[in-house]
């Protein structure tokens, strides 16, 4: 078993090694003495508030496990535009290149300066650019409903079954978000035309499919591949390639589902899903829909993984949600998604499995003890105590 969960540099099935969560071996001595260089890019809105709590937890981990994290904070998003005139300032990008991984908050403030062109706005100029720059092609979003938060799930208890636990594996560097041509043009006076292009190649589909099947092997051994093969050429190719890749994994059941049905089934019977494999745009939408099942975007971490070098995988770790301008700066944001993103980073990039488990356990303990930020609070739960961002972070750091 390899120390590092993913070897993405080699997309062939036999070259990808995948382990996860508690199954990972502990860190070799050579890695435990290493200083891990981290770029912490908090971004906009609630980004700085939740990043502060994540760093607090990282410091607690550092102490408990005698690790060393060299954390450098840098501006990105509107904070980057304010500081250096660019959503992804050159110095921030340079820092990322020199780092072992990126811990990211979120970027974008929809109401800010509409005169700034789309391609210079944070979502495109920072987020999409970073994904491309570091070839972060695989996005993993675990969606788990904690049993104490059943009330926050919009589905009835009956539909929640014995618990919802879905892993959305989303292709992140291809498809409609990057395909060319991409433009808006005038076709006649008063008539505009917008063009986005969906493009996928066989190798792009193969490598993300391998990730999904490897992930499923360590879970409940089922992949639901999402496409729109009844309408899109891309869907036909996607389905063919995923079916071919599935032959390498006879122990994993494969089913195909049209994306519209997938969206509906997530609401009707989410317990049927183990791993959902999606192209970029479908994964974007379905992962947020799945996120609602966990009660709040504030509970959901994500990992975007790139190349593996030796014992480390370069990764980009961020909460599933955005900048939440409606609650920013009020100590209301739930820091758990950002904190669990730290746990994913320790596990998937550095193989620091014990430290990652300690964070997961501390989050579980905080929830079990009744602590709730506003997004997951229910007045009907007599044991629940409403707390702010800072208090939740303090409790989790203390739990570590």
Which chain residues interact with ligand NAD by CB under 6 A?
46, 50, 106-110, 123, 127, 296-298, 318-319, 321-327, 333-334, 337, 375
Nearer to ligand NAD, 308 or 389 (CB): 389
Comparison of 288 and 361: residue with beta carbon closer to ligand NAD: 288
* Token output for 396: 């989790």
d(CA 201, CA 209): 12
- How many CB atoms are located within 10 Å of the residue 68 CB? 11
Q: Is 375 an active-site residue?
A: no
Report, in Å, the least distance between residue 42 CB and ligand NAD.
11
Q: How far is the CB of 194 from ligand NAD (least distance, A)?
A: 18
Active site includes 228?
yes
Considering beta carbons, is residue 179 or 325 the nearer one to ligand NAD?
A: 325
Catalytic residue (one of 165, 196, 240, 288): 288
Given 44, 56, 146, 177, the catalytic residue = 177
**How near is the Cβ of 369 to ligand NAD at its closest, in Å?**
19
- Residue positions counted in the chain: 400
Least Å distance, CB 277 to ligand NAD, is 21
Smallest gap from Cβ 126 to ligand NAD, in A, equals 8
Complex with ligand NAD: residue 27 or 127, whichever CB lies closer:
127
Tell me if residue 284 is catalytic. yes
Beta strands in 155-300 (DSSP E): 165-171, 179-188, 191-197, 222-227, 253-258, 275-278
- Catalytic site residue from 284, 360, 361, 381: 284
Cβ-proximal residues to 74 (8 Å cutoff; 6+ apart), any chain:
39, 40, 41, 89, 91, 92, 95
CB-nearer residue toward ligand NAD: 127 or 215:
127
Is 15 catalytic? The answer is: no
Tokens, residue 14: 């036999």
Q: How far is the CB of 275 from ligand NAD (least distance, A)?
A: 22
- Token duo for residue 269: 């019977």
Q: Of 330, 325, 300, 319, whose CA–CA distance to 390 is shortest?
A: 330
Of residues 296, 227, 292, the one with CA closest to residue 262: 227
Q: Are 359 and 371 in contact (CB under 8 A)?
A: no
Determine which one of 200, 227, 228, 274 is catalytic.
Answer: 228
Q: How far is the CB of 128 from ligand NAD (least distance, A)?
A: 10
**Nearer to ligand NAD by C-beta: 106 or 224?**
106
Coil, strand or helix: which one is 185? strand
Q: Which is nearer to ligand NAD, 155 or 254 (CB)?
A: 155
Which residue of the set 12, 90, 260, 269 is catalytic?
260
Residue 285 burial (CB count, 10 A)? 15
Rg for the chain, CA atoms, rounded = 21
Q: Which two tokens mark 340? A: 């669990």
**Cβ(333)–Cβ(324) below 8 Å:** yes
Q: Which of 277, 134, 262, 255 is nearest to 207 (CA)?
A: 277
What count of other Cβ atoms lies within 10 Å of the Cβ of residue 89? 19
**Alpha carbons 279 and 300: distance in angstroms, whole number:** 20
Q: Which residue's Cβ has the minimum distance to ligand NAD?
A: 322
Task: List, by residue number, the catalytic residues.
Answer: 177, 228, 260, 284, 288
């Amino acid at each position: 078993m390899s120390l590092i969960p993913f070897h993405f540099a080699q997309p062939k099935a036999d070259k990808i090694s995948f382990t996860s969560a508690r199954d990972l071996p502990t860190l070799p001595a050579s890695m435990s003495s290493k200083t891990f260089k981290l770029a912490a890019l908090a971004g906009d809105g609630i980004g700085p508030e939740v990043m502060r709590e994540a760093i607090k937890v990282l410091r607690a981990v550092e102490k408990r496990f005698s690790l060393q994290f060299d954390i450098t904070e840098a501006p990105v998003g509107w904070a980057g535009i304010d500081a250096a005139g660019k959503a992804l300032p050159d110095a921030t990008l340079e820092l990322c290149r020199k780092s072992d991984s990126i811990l990211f908050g979120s970027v974008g403030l929809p109401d800010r300066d509409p005169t700034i062109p789309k391609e210079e706005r944070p979502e495109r100029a920072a987020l999409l650019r970073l994904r491309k720059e570091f070839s972060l092609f695989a996005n993993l979003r675990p969606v788990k409903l904690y049993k104490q938060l059943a009330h926050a799930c919009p589905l009835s208890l009956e539909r929640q079954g014995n618990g919802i636990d879905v892993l959305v594996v989303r292709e992140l560097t291809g498809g409609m978000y990057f395909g060319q041509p991409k433009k808006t043009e005038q076709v006649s006076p008063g008539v505009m035309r917008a063009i986005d292009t969906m493009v996928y190649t066989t190798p792009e589909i193969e490598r993300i499919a391998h990730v999904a099947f490897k992930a499923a092997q360590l879970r409940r051994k089922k992949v639901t591949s999402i496409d729109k093969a009844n309408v899109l050429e891309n869907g036909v190719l996607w389905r063919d390639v995923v079916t071919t890749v599935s032959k390498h994994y006879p122990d994993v059941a494969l089913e195909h589902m049209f994306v519209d049905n997938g969206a509906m089934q997530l609401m009707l019977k989410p317990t049927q899903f183990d791993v959902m494999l999606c192209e970029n745009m479908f994964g974007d939408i379905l992962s947020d829909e799945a996120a609602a099942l966990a009660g709040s975007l504030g509970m959901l971490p994500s990992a975007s993984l790139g190349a593996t070098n030796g014992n480390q995988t370069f990764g980009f770790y961020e909460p599933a949600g955005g900048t939440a301008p409606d609650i920013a700066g009020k100590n209301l944001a739930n820091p758990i998604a950002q904190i669990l993103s730290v746990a994913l980073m320790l596990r998937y990039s550095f193989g620091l499995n014990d430290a990652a488990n300690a964070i997961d356990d501390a989050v579980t303990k905080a929830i079990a003890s009744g602590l709730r930020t506003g997004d997951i609070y229910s007045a009907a739960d007599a044991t629940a105590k409403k707390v702010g961002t800072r208090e939740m972070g303090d409790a989790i750091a203390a739990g570590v």
